[in-house]
């Protein structure tokens, strides 16, 4: 375990002062003669010196890290998103601190506070709990927040930026797609609706039915029970459960709109066990367009979210603000959702 090489060692070896080395390290080359610069460069190489970022941070107060809060990377949608966020952040020299917070407000707050303590000044918030007032204090202290997949209320616009697709519109066109095929008994399947994006999606479903003059049937809105701290581990199981309950009723739905693809896959599993064929006996529409949507049988009709685009915009917004390049407040980039029609939807038989 070697002793750590410090800036003092470099200075000594190069025969200059520490401040000159510091200037060198921070790219203030205009202040340094060519000859000195070379000496420093050489000293650094000879000693294999690497600046201590912790000391730097103690002095400057901030670190090249951003936080990323998601429900759980066990859901491939968030896993993919997290990967893209990491890549985009890396392009600008930032690292990502990931928190799977399972939609638990307590964990989200704790995680955010811890990040702040570590000098993190920006967080991408990929969890969209309805009430994020607990973040306001942090925002007031200068923490930058970019929400992901979460439309903002007016008061929030002041504090946060955001990116996302138009969830309401996405489910609206998904539902209209089923309506257009002739479906009338259309169910909506979701986990506990405590998040803004889910609420938006439900709204889109209701709106589409209303616009089509289809009578509302609250029993067709299936909402999984809340399981605290469980992330998205159970989405598939919940979807399966939903299928069981909805497909064993007397008047069963001919179409199901799900809140995301994982639920749709769960519905697939349930329908299969019940001997209900998709799309002959039941049409299913998902949301997200995770990679698997294309390869399940039948390929899933779903609403696509442009994950790489969303990730890069989120990181861009966040880092621009951190670096002071962005001063307008409360921007929300709403991307248009796109319905990808595959073979899980068809005309209803009856």
Query: Which of DNA, its own copies, none does 314 bind, CB closer than 5 to 8 A by kind?
Result: none
Q: Which residue, 45 or 215, is less far from its own copies as judged by CB?
A: 45
* Chain residues 325-344 in contact with DNA, contact rule CB under 7 A: none
Q: Compute the least distance from the CB of residue 56 to DNA, in Å.
A: 4
Q: Compute the least distance from the CB of residue 26 to its own copies, in Å.
A: 16
Q: Compute the least distance from the CB of residue 168 to its own copies, in Å.
A: 27
d(CA 78, CA 55): 33
* Chain residues 43-72 in contact with its own copies, contact rule CB under 8 A: 50-55, 57-58, 63, 72
d(CA 132, CA 129): 6
Q: What does each C-alpha distance from 337 to 97, 175, 202, 205, 255 come to in angstroms?
A: 28, 13, 15, 14, 20
Total number of residues that touch DNA (CB under 7 A): 29
CA-based angle 161:75:252, to the nearest 5? 105
CA-based angle 301:222:306, to the nearest 5? 35
Is 347 strand, coil or helix?
Answer: coil
Instruction: Examine residue 226 and tell whether it contacts DNA (CB under 7 A).
Output: no
- Per the DSSP assignment, residues forming a β-bridge with 190 are 223
Q: What does each C-alpha distance from 212 to 149, 172, 175, 257 come to in angstroms?
A: 27, 11, 10, 16
Are residues 307 and 147 in contact, defined by beta-carbon separation less than 8 angstroms?
no
d(CA 44, CA 36): 12
Instruction: Examine residue 305 and tell whether it contacts its own copies (CB under 8 A).
Output: no
Interstrand relation of 144-148 and 95-100 (parallel, antiparallel or unpaired): unpaired
Query: Which of DNA, its own copies, none does 16 bind, CB closer than 5 to 8 A by kind?
Result: DNA
* Chain residues 161-220 in contact with its own copies, contact rule CB under 8 A: none
Stretch that binds DNA, among 28-36, 102-110, 245-253, 264-272 (CB under 7 A): 28-36
Nearest partner of 171 among 188, 153, 185, judged by Cα: 188
Q: Compute the least distance from the CB of residue 50 to DNA, in Å.
A: 7
Instruction: Examine residue 30 and tell whether it contacts DNA (CB under 7 A).
Output: yes
The sign of the CA dihedral 147, 153, 154, 159 is negative
Query: Which of DNA, its own copies, none does 207 bind, CB closer than 5 to 8 A by kind?
Result: none
Instruction: Examine residue 330 and tell whether it contacts its own copies (CB under 8 A).
Output: no
Three-state SS letters, 252-293: CCCEEEECCHHHHHHHHHHHHHCCCCCCCCCEEEEEECCHHH
Query: Which of its own copies, DNA, none does 33 bind, CB closer than 5 to 8 A by kind?
Result: DNA
Element (H, E) at 113: helix 105-117
* Chain residues 7-26 in contact with DNA, contact rule CB under 7 A: 7-8, 11, 15-20, 22-23, 25-26
Query: Which of its own copies, DNA, none does 236 bind, CB closer than 5 to 8 A by kind?
Result: its own copies
Q: Rule CB under 8 A: choose which of 295, 324, 328, 350 binds its own copies.
A: 295
Q: Compute the least distance from the CB of residue 47 to its own copies, in Å.
A: 15
Instruction: Examine residue 82 and tell whether it contacts its own copies (CB under 8 A).
Output: yes
Nearest partner of 126 among 53, 207, 184, 70, judged by Cα: 70
Instruction: Examine residue 160 and tell whether it contacts its own copies (CB under 8 A).
Output: no
Taking every pair of Cα atoms in the chain, the longest distance, rounded to a whole number of angstroms, is 88
* Chain residues 54-73 in contact with DNA, contact rule CB under 7 A: 55-56, 58-60
User: Cβ-count burial of 59 within 10 angstroms (0-12 exposed, 13-18 middle, 19+ buried)?
Assistant: exposed
Residues making contact with its own copies (CB under 8 A): 1-2, 50-55, 57-58, 63, 72-76, 78-80, 82-83, 86-87, 95-100, 113-114, 117-119, 140-142, 231, 233, 236, 240, 265-266, 268-269, 272, 291-292, 294-297
Residues making contact with DNA (CB under 7 A): 4, 6-8, 11, 15-20, 22-23, 25-26, 30-33, 35-37, 51-52, 55-56, 58-60
């Amino acid at each position: 375990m070697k002793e750590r090489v410090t800036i003092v060692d470099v200075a000594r070896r190069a025969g200059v002062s520490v401040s000159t080395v510091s200037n060198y390290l921070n790219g203030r080359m205009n202040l340094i003669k060519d000859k000195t610069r070379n000496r420093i460069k050489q000293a650094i190489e000879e000693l294999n010196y690497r600046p201590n970022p912790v000391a730097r941070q103690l002095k400057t107060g901030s670190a090249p890290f951003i936080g990323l809060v998601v429900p759980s990377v066990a859901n491939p949608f968030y896993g993919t998103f997290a990967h893209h966020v990491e890549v985009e952040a890396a392009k600008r020299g930032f690292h990502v601190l990931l928190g799977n917070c399972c939609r638990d407000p307590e964990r989200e707050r704790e995680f955010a506070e811890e990040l702040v303590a570590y000098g993190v000044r920006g967080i991408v918030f990929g969890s969209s709990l309805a009430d994020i007032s607990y973040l306001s204090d942090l925002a007031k202290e200068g923490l930058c927040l970019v929400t992901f997949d979460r439309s903002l209320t007016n008061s929030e616009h002041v504090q946060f930026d955001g990116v996302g697709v138009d969830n309401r519109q996405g489910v609206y066109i998904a539902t209209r797609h089923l309506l257009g095929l002739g479906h009338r008994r259309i169910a909506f399947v979701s986990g506990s609706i405590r998040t803004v994006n889910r609420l938006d999606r439900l709204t889109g479903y209701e709106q589409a039915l209303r616009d089509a003059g289809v009578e509302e049937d609250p029993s067709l809105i299936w909402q999984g029970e809340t399981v605290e701290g469980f992330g998205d581990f159970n989405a598939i199981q919940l979807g399966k459960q939903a299928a069981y309950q909805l497909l064993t009723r007397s008047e069963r739905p001919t179409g199901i709109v799900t809140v995301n693809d994982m639920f749709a896959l769960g519905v697939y599993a349930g329908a299969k066990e019940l001997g209900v064929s998709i799309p002959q006996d039941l049409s299913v529409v998902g949301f997200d367009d995770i990679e698997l949507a294309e390869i399940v049988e039948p390929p899933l009709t779903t609403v696509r979210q442009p994950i790489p685009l969303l990730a890069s915009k989120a990181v861009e917004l966040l880092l621009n603000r951190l670096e002071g390049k962005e001063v307008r407040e409360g921007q929300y980039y709403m991307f248009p959702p796109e319905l990808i029609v595959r073979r899980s939807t068809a005309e209803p038989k009856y």
